[in-house]
Amino acid sequence: MVALDTGSDLFWVPCDCIECAPLAGYRETLDRDLGIYKPAESTTSRHLPCSHELCSSGSGCSSPKQPCPYSTDYLQENTTSSGLLIEDVLHLNSRESHAPVKASVIIGCGRKQSGSYLDGIAPDGLLGLGMADISVPSFLARAGLVRNSFSMCFKEYSGRIFFGDQGVSTQQSTPFVPLYGKFQTYAVNVDKSCVGHKCFEGTNFEAIVDSGTSFTALPLNVYKAVTVEFDRQVNASRITQEDDSFEYCYSASPLEMPDVPTVTLNFAANKSFQVVNPTIVRKDGEGSIAGFCLAVQKSPEAIGIIGQNFLTGYHIVFDKENMKLGWYRSECHDLDNSTTVPLGPSQHHSPGDPLPSSEQQTSPTVTPPAVAGKAPTSSGGPSNLHRLLANCCSLLFLTISTVFFIS
């Protein structure tokens, strides 16, 4: 059972452990036992040699045939994963033929974890879904098994992932943009932000769409405009919280839940993304609702992060083939209308026509958002992007996850 993270690239699991998080005690909450991958018991596993093109640590190897080591820093309280890279077979269900698909991928045999990973964040591993060649979606597309796209559907405490899915014809979309001159992560341009019917001109910013960040972070000027207007419109008394996770919190009770103003991100060509629920519930010592907070944080940089709480209630399409982000409202259980993509490589490489706009408006309810562990990678990116990902949001407990079988 692995955490799904669009903000990093490597797929790693606990393996031949020197120092890993304990896996006992999860059956009551997850309804399954967690396990450790053992390459020696897999007839299809082999160590990736240092000479392999995807071995980024090859220059430090004493021999080209030496097993390739990896070490990934996640820049959150010295959180790291390290070990050896293994090539093995991943087994996936197929929506078309109902026969499992076998794909050769590279896995991080995570022998040693540190920081928040030892505290139970993604205890059974992490699936990096980023743009790099070593990510699982990239492997599947290069093998011709699926189109170079995947989608994720977020419910309150669960979700689904579909490799090769390009969404539906009625979804909205916006193009990915380069950060610091490179397409290194799933970044988009936000033209302006709105609270209720009040929109703020001059609040355009670039944002990383990251399922591994629990809560959305906005650049300081956008954060100030959104929070002040939200505070003006919400019909509730503001309260002070003991912790400083969120600045704007309000009183509430199970019998009296106030109306919450909508929060909307607008993109080019009048494409809009209305957040289903921008708040998080606060409970008292007895577990009863005591209040709620606007669940956004300040970004330390001019770049924002659209985190998992804003993605909940949507089917999000990461279309690398056409280099665009797609989205449409979904409860995650009615997915029969998604595009059924044929097994096989893409027959074209040019971006398709922009999809029609079909904004769906709903009023949010005050329920807690889904949360997941944050895991930004540190390899190859500019230092200010590192600081943004490191400082944006603290690691929280894992809830969005998926199950894979490795032979």
For the annotated catalytic residues, the residue numbers are 5, 210
Please tell me the distance from the alpha carbon of residue 272 to that of residue 174, in angstroms, as a whole number: 10
User: Using an 8 Å Cβ cutoff, are 252 and 366 in contact?
Assistant: yes
Tell me, what DSSP letter sits at residue 74?
-
Phi, psi at residue 222, to the nearest 5°?
-75, -40
- 3-state secondary structure (DSSP) of residue 27: helix
What's the Cα-to-Cα distance from 221 to each of 301, 334, 383, rounded to whole Å?
11, 38, 22
User: Using an 8 Å Cβ cutoff, are 46 and 252 in contact?
Assistant: no
Nearest partner of 106 among 48, 166, 151, 146, judged by Cα: 48
Nearest partner of 351 among 318, 377, 325, 321, judged by Cα: 321
Residue 406 contacts by C-beta under 8 Å, 6 or more apart in sequence?
Answer: 13, 37, 42, 88, 89, 90, 91, 107
Q: In what order do the strands lie in the sheet with 149-154?
A: 159-163, 149-154, 314-319, 324-329, 172-175
Count Cα neighbours of 337 within 13 Å in the Cβ-side half-sphere: 12
